[in-house]
Amino acid sequence: MKLVLKFLLAIILAIVVVAAVKFKTIKRLYTAIHLFDENVIIDNFQNMDKHFKVVRWEASDHPISFPKNISYTLPDNFSFKDSLIQVDEYLNFVNTEGLMIIYRDTVVFEQYMNGLTESTTHISWSMAKSVVATLMGVAYDEGLYQLDDPVTQYLPQFKGTAYDGVKIKDILQMSSGVRFNEDYGDFNSDINRFGRAFAMGSSLEKFAMSLERERKPGTYCHYVSMDTQVLGILLIKLTGMSLTDYLKLKLWESLGMQDQAEWIVDNTGKEVALGGLNMTLRDYAKLGQLYLHDGMYNDQQIVSKQWIEMATTPDAPHLMPGENEMSSHDYGYGFQWWIPNPDEGDFFAAGIYNQYIYVQPEKELVIVKLSANHHFKHEGQATKGMHIGLFKTISATFPDKTIPEKIEINEQAN
């Protein structure tokens, strides 16, 4: 009887464990499907660690704060196509959570809304791609790979997949030739299938290996989030470190990050390179400052000027901004950084639901914006154009860097 009882208890325990695992998986899937619902999107974007497994790390041992001179007034309106849009109304409409403007290395505007504070982490979404590209730059500077190397030289498990023989440079430039539907409004799109597969516990690498090739690599610019995931897998192989550890070693301390951060990971412990990084507004701004100063920060060359130039300069016809039959969008593209149309020397990192790091070197200007725009699926990518219109309008209120003296910024804004 004792053996029977022990056997029954073991079965019951096994059932309870399986049920608990299944419940967590189902709950995570439900969260993924409803992550962007209007009533929860703001809280979700500021608390991704409540819903997904993350790795967390603390602020730099030597945090660096920006000097502040809060003296800038936002313009009343900005133009987009044939419309004149009120700035305050638009910021409210897209659920802006944080907005920071840094001019000549000084914070001149800083605003937090919808529960965000200066120390609240917020999901980056695809701004993480620009962080991964920066880590690729550090690895490039260290001589760990060459741009024309095929990715399968280092990741042989991708032989026979859509990434077989694709140059690392083509992956950096979203020109891998891989078929991918990035439409968040389409329930059955590849990006939404990926989200559900991730929530159900599928590995990121396995999903990337399941994709098919659509075009010859290096001939057409098409946004494929999984390209960045492959870069993340590549970095792990090249460095022998996790993305988190490599980030901490090469960027975190050098940039003097002020707050803790988290990176969402899959069931195998690999980071969601394509968009799972969570940082604070002011720490995102430091990445913009790094690019503004050609890879130099706090008197230290963290990534080479050569890399910064390559990362922010389209170098082939299919990467140029404007109407382009060799691209699926009208923005220019570098190494995981966008170039606006028209190209005025500015560039930006972007994440869905309107996360931005905008850099305009000619004005010595960085603008960082975090949002939880629940209208995003309905408005589509038009809101990207609206935001760039807003940023360019703000930029126009500042003098060029050729003007040496500091002037009253409020006078420029009015």
CATH number at residue 87: 3.40.710.10
pTM of the predicted model as reported, rounded to 2 decimal places: 0.91
**In terms of domains, do 87 and 24 share one?**
no
Q: Is residue 212 a part of any domain in this protein?
A: no
- Tell me whether residue 130 is in a domain: yes
Range of the domain at 329: 49-150+236-413
Same domain for 16 and 80, yes or no, is no
Average pLDDT of the chain is: 91
Considering the domain architecture, whether residues 96 and 21 belong to the same structural domain is answered as no
Query: For 2-16, how does the pLDDT look when each residue is reduced to its tens digit (9 = 90+)?
Result: 565 656 665 665 454
Whether residue 160 lies inside any domain: the answer is no
For residue range 95-118, what is the model confidence (pLDDT) as tens digits? Answer: 999 999 999 999 999 999 999 999
Whether residues 256 and 369 fall in one domain:
yes
- Do 25 and 144 sit in the same domain of this protein? no
Tell me, letter by letter, the H, E, C secondary structure of the chain: CHHHHHHHHHHHHHHHHHHHHHHHHHHHHHHHHCCCCCCCHHHHHHCHHHCCCEEEECCCCCCCCCCECCCCCCCCEEEECCEEEEHHHHHHHCCEEEEEEEECCEEEEEEECCCCCCCCCEECCCHHHHHHHHHHHHHHHCCCCCCCCEHHHCCHHHCCCCCCCCEHHHHHCCCCCECCCCCCCCCCCHHHHHHHHHHCCCCHHHHHHCCCECCCCCCCECCCHHHHHHHHHHHHHHHCCCHHHHHHHHHHCCCCCCCCEEEEECCCCCECCCCCEEECHHHHHHHHHHHHCCCEECCEECCCHHHHHHHCCCCCHHHCCCCCCCECCCCEECCCCEECCCCCCCEEEEECCCEEEEEEHHHCEEEEEEECCCCHHHHCCHHHHHHHHHHHHHHHCCCCCCCCCCCCHHHHHC
Number of domains in the chain: 2
Is 251 among the domain residues? yes
pLDDT in tens, 356-392: 999 999 999 999 999 999 988 775 545 899 999 999 9
